[in-house]
A and B are shown apart, each in its own frame.
Chain A
């Protein structure tokens, strides 16, 4: 099955009188790694919140392949195969690391709201949980309460919970924020590994990560897309340099 594509048409979002997203058109091709960059307050996280259904959009349309996403609640969007992570780590903090991953697997493994399966006896489910823990390098921490993990471990768990359900469209919101250089390198390798064969959209501030990982870059400034294209084109774009990279280049 080929990974899905995502398209946004004339998407706007107002909070009261304030327009945060002012008519965004964006296309994410199937299977590409797409980076969303822009200065603070550009509306990158808000855009993620709109795509994933956390907030309703004010106008416009969002499509995942042929399916219209806007208007659907977050859990329905997730079940369609679009999964997102959070910039501020969002985990089940009183549950163990193991349970966090297992909970993220449950729906996609068709357990739904079952109150007749004993989780301990679901071999395929538990083996898949173990495999994911190994992949995330969290196997030794499986029994630890998630809230007690170190920051970098929590970020890894966050990514793990996002990809666990097998979604083919992955949205990562600043997965490397606040990480040291070596932690970032590790996280990038992890992201590369776990999003193999999927479509990835990520908000990222670290330009090394962006130019290392992305096939396409979209630049968002004050709720509008000012440029979109391959990294080389973005690097050369004068509007982008002025609005955003200019500060770095100067």
Chain B
């Protein structure tokens, strides 16, 4: 480096730092401000629903990111990530109970750290078992582990409390800042703080030798051996570290809900991690964050409106795996070459042309799913199907015909427009490459 370049460094560094830091600062500011957008000033209180949704999102962000340390970064598809999360959650309940009884002088603010260390411990134990193998065999071992621990959770009452789970009271009376944590907003800010710490920690991990060699072993585990690394140890350490962060998530879960049942270790939660990482985009660091937000939003928001929200999550997942295996952030990243070539504007028309048939097909699909679900569960629950405030008679032919027509007609139209879009896309890519 020349002298001039060296001298230029100090003045450039704050700018570069700001560029690198802005996503983190933005995430922090947004998560801190978010509850106040839904603050009820008339009654002077927070929206309980929104607050619990944001809290859930926060812990799911940690959970999904830690899952992606395995899937996206190390190429390890784990079905037992819920075990690390849930067991740390159980441990935290016991820590809180001990703290409440005055036997464990740990302040609330550091409880998630303790949970992280228990996650690390479980990560070491189960990671030792699972990381003996890789790829399919690894996935099968983790499937065994999740079944094993779920069964154990209903069998061993001392630690797991049986079917009813274990309960605690988070008002342990020990805090670095003299907080009681009686109010959900205080817990929410605890979650935000640990979410930021965990995200920064996991991001840092991707820049370390171990994090990089995890990528290398994912790409070519054999070559990794011939540059001096034992892929088994790389997998094991990566698993253990991801257990640490999953544990922090599980600890926050226990603190928030004050109860942990076997659901917290069971396979559906592990599948959720997969959904979040995959839909958000496992190939980028921030993808799982987006996935966690989206899935939690669907889980709490759409589930209020519809019984069939899981159908939508499932269809979204299948659609992503089929059409966009790199996830939502992957889709965005694929536009990068076009953006660099200044061709992004020329995609506007093709996008606009896909939009109407897409929306029509989507509306038709939602219509058919909702009508079907109201024929069965909805009716049993005595609910009424409404559209824009007007009740819909599910026994008349009209809604069925309209929905099916939208689905089929929109589908055919969409298929045609997608072909057009694909041609336009490939043409622009060709131009961008030149």
Contacts and interface: CB of A to CB of B under 8 A. Distances in A.
Determine if chain A interacts with chain B: yes
A165 interface: yes
Given A112-B209, A118-B204, A120-B207, 8 more contacts: A75-B225, A91-B223, A92-B216, A93-B220, A99-B215, A103-B224, A106-B227, A113-B237
B220 A103 contact: no
Interface of B: 204-205, 207-213, 215-216, 218-220, 222-230, 233-234, 237, 241
B215 A95 contact: yes
Interface in A65-120: 73-75, 78-79, 83-84, 86, 90-95, 99, 102-104, 106-108, 111-120
A54 B226 CA distance: 9
Contacts of B237: 113, 115
Nearest to B75: A94
Contacts of B226: 52, 74-75, 78, 83-84, 90, 162
A215 to B, nearest CB: 25
A156 to B, nearest CB: 16
A115 B211 CA distance: 7
A90 B220 contact: yes
Contacts of B211: 115
A75 B213 contact: no
A129 to B, nearest CB: 12
B216 A117 contact: no
Given A75-B230, A95-B216, A115 B225 contact: no
B1 to A, nearest CB: 10
Given A90-B220, A94-B215, A74 B225 contact: yes
Contacts of B241: 115
A57 interface: no
B227 A161 contact: yes
A106 B225 contact: no
30 contacts: A75-B224, A78-B227, A79-B228, A83-B226, A83-B227, A90-B222, A90-B223, A91-B220, A91-B223, A92-B216, A94-B215, A94-B218, A94-B219, A95-B212, A95-B215, A103-B216, A103-B224, A106-B212, A106-B213, A106-B227, A106-B228, A106-B229, A107-B227, A112-B209, A113-B209, A113-B210, A113-B229, A114-B210, A115-B209, A118-B208
Contacts of B219: 91-95
A111 B207 CA distance: 13
A164 interface: yes
A227 to B, nearest CB: 29
Contacts of B227: 78, 83, 103-104, 106-107, 161, 164-165
Contacts of A116: 208
Contacts, number: 99
Contacts of A119: 207-209, 212
Contacts of A90: 220, 222-223, 226
A73 B207 contact: no
Contacts of A103: 212-213, 216, 224, 227
Interface string A112-154: 1111111110000000000000000000000000000000000
Nearest to A167: B228
- What 5 A-B pairs have minimum CB-CB distances, sorted nearest first? A107-B228, A74-B225, A111-B209, A92-B219, A115-B210
A119 B219 CA distance: 19
B204 A78 contact: no
B237 to A, nearest CB: 5
Contacts of B216: 92, 95, 99, 103
Nearest to A119: B207
A45 to B, nearest CB: 14
Given A79-B228, A95-B215, A107-B229, A114 B223 contact: no
A103 B237 CA distance: 17
B139 to A, nearest CB: 20
A73 B215 contact: no
B268 to A, nearest CB: 30
A165 B223 CA distance: 13
Contacts of A108: 228
A92 B229 contact: no
A161 B209 contact: no
